[in-house]
A and B are shown apart, each in its own frame.
Chain A
Amino acid sequence: MLGSYIPILIFIVVAIMLPVVGLAVGRLLRPSRPHGTKLMPYECGVDPEGDARERFSVRFYIIAILFVIFDVETIFLFPWAIIYDRLALFGFIEMTVFLGILIVGYFYVWKKGALEWV
């Protein structure tokens, strides 16, 4: 059974070789003439103002947290979906309760305005 993962490992190695070989060949062929102005971060032609890594909107953070909650939820649904034909009514009620809790949380998040993007 584990044997069927060996081709995936081979594929990963081959896939890693692609960019590595490309970059190595390119290094031999392409010019390299660095220059202070050329290496400056792009900011519409003006000298860059301060550091780029400043504080950014907290909404990105909220979205990330919501993602973790919902994505873990989907992972729980995968095994349930696979054996649903054996679980039948029990599985349906169980999952309705499980999703019900999630949906209550979803509406709470919606009412709190975490999904608004102003």
Chain B
Amino acid sequence: MTETLLVYAIIPFIKIAVIVLILSGAIAYLTLFERKLVAHIQVRLGPMRVGWHGLLQPIADGLKFILKEDIIPSKADALVFTIAPAISLIPAFVVFSVVPFGPPEMFEGLLRWSLGWFFDSATVESVAQNTLASGGFITDINIAVLFVLSVSSVGILGIILGGWASNSKYPLLGALRSSAQMVSYEVALGFSIIGVLLVAGSLSLVEIVQNQEKAHLWYVFVQPVAFALFFICGMAETNRLPFDLPEAETELVGGFHTEYSGFRFSLYFLAEYANMITISAVAVTLFWGGWLRPFPNVSWLAFLGLIPPVLWFLIKVFLFLYIFIWVRGTLPRFRFDQLMRYGWKVFLPVALGNVIVSAGVLLAFL
């Protein structure tokens, strides 16, 4: 009984609490990192006043968001207007329940040590052996890739509902654009993942990483086209520049969140950055070997193993976030017709071709 409770409720809850805290902190400091980086790209300094080099800026922003008046426009649909930002934030977090950040035996030692204080050795042993408790992930399900795709597309609903409920012209235009854009790029995104699945032969994200270890190869080297598509479409899915048409300031004021203020606005903001982290983490898991260190089978590089797997995972995710912001600082925004043309006439055929060619080439190796 205690064992079941530990494995299925208490230990997952502790992991979830820690991850949610880390994720919230990471999102807060990602905003500062973005402002700093973009500022330096544009030869400015960025936030400098709050704390040393603006290090306390995210905390000041957070406090201000909570203290600001929360305006619900008179013509808006109050209920939908209230829950829409939450609908867009919650899925961005929930996706993390299946993304592995460490190997399946990551917490085994820690569990043995900490549980040894409270329980008899038989319970400790069986809990520590269970990968659901000791693994470097919250849970490992056999349809993880489908779960990621389906849950992350729920986030789009938050944007559409928010724009619709505002009952104002700019938010509605932003919401329409974002639905068309996300829907178009999701097709190419789905096709690009098929390429990895062909090679990996599993839908579980943990198994995909383990298969990369067994194959002695990160899948980006067998599926470079799929990775490029995944990354570009991921950028479009998260509404990041150069694909940030839904909130194009110069034409739509603030896009779908024009009418939002205070804490509700900050929820949309958090959701966007959480989605950035999610897309980066999924890209790292599918294509860049997740928690694996570079060249896991080259013996003279064994000193790289001194850095724990979870740090390798974080380093890779951080690199992707850097690229996200770098792209924002470098590329101008697309026009809407260009955006739709790239989505349907370039990325979709390339993704389809990639699936067929990969399947054909794979056939020669079977």
Instruction: Give residues of chain A (27-76) contacting chain B, Cβ–Cβ below 8 Å.
Output: 27, 29-34, 36, 38-44, 48, 51-53, 56, 59-60, 63-64, 66-67, 70-71, 74-75
Pairwise interchain contact B180-A53, C-beta atoms closer than 8 A:
no
Pairwise interchain contact B69-A30, C-beta atoms closer than 8 A:
yes
Instruction: Give residues of chain B (329-366) contacting chain A, Cβ–Cβ below 8 Å.
Output: 336-337, 340-341, 344-345, 348-349, 352, 355-356, 359-360, 362-363, 366
Pairwise interchain contact B141-A53, C-beta atoms closer than 8 A:
no
CA distance A85 to B366 in the complex (A): 7
Pairwise interchain contact A78-B170, C-beta atoms closer than 8 A:
no
Pairwise interchain contact B94-A30, C-beta atoms closer than 8 A:
no
* Given the contacts A4-B140, A5-B141, A7-B97, A81 and B198 also touching, CB distance less than 8 Å: yes
Pairwise interchain contact B94-A117, C-beta atoms closer than 8 A:
no
Report the minimum CB–CB distance from A48 to chain B (whole Å): 7
CA distance A32 to B186 in the complex (A): 40
Q: Nearest residue in B to A103 (C-beta to C-beta)?
A: B352
Q: Which of A6, A19, A22, A48 has the most CB of B within 10 A?
A: A19
* Given the contacts A19-B85, A41-B73, A88-B366, A7 and B12 also touching, CB distance less than 8 Å: yes
Report the minimum CB–CB distance from A110 to chain B (whole Å): 7
* Given the contacts A11-B97, A39-B72, A70 and B16 also touching, CB distance less than 8 Å: no
Residues of A within 8 A of B336 (CB): 117
Pairwise interchain contact B8-A6, C-beta atoms closer than 8 A:
yes
Please tell me if B93 contacts chain A, counting CB pairs below 8 Å: yes
Pairwise interchain contact A71-B187, C-beta atoms closer than 8 A:
yes
Residues of A within 8 A of B171 (CB): 52
Nearest 7 Cβ contacts at the A-B interface: A41-B168, A74-B190, A7-B12, A81-B197, A117-B337, A39-B74, A67-B183
A-B contact pairs, 11 of them (CB 8 A): A6-B139, A7-B139, A18-B90, A19-B267, A41-B75, A42-B168, A53-B172, A67-B184, A82-B197, A96-B356, A99-B356
Which residues does B use to contact A, with CB under 8 Å? 7-9, 12-13, 15-17, 20, 24, 66-76, 85-86, 89-90, 93-94, 96-98, 132, 138-142, 145-147, 164, 166-172, 176, 179-180, 183-184, 186-187, 190-191, 194, 197-198, 201-203, 253, 258-259, 262-264, 267, 336-337, 340-341, 344-345, 348-349, 352, 355-356, 359-360, 362-363, 366
Given A18-B93, A63-B183, A82-B202: 10 more A-B contacts, CB < 8 Å: A4-B132, A7-B12, A14-B17, A33-B69, A60-B179, A71-B190, A84-B359, A91-B359, A103-B352, A110-B345
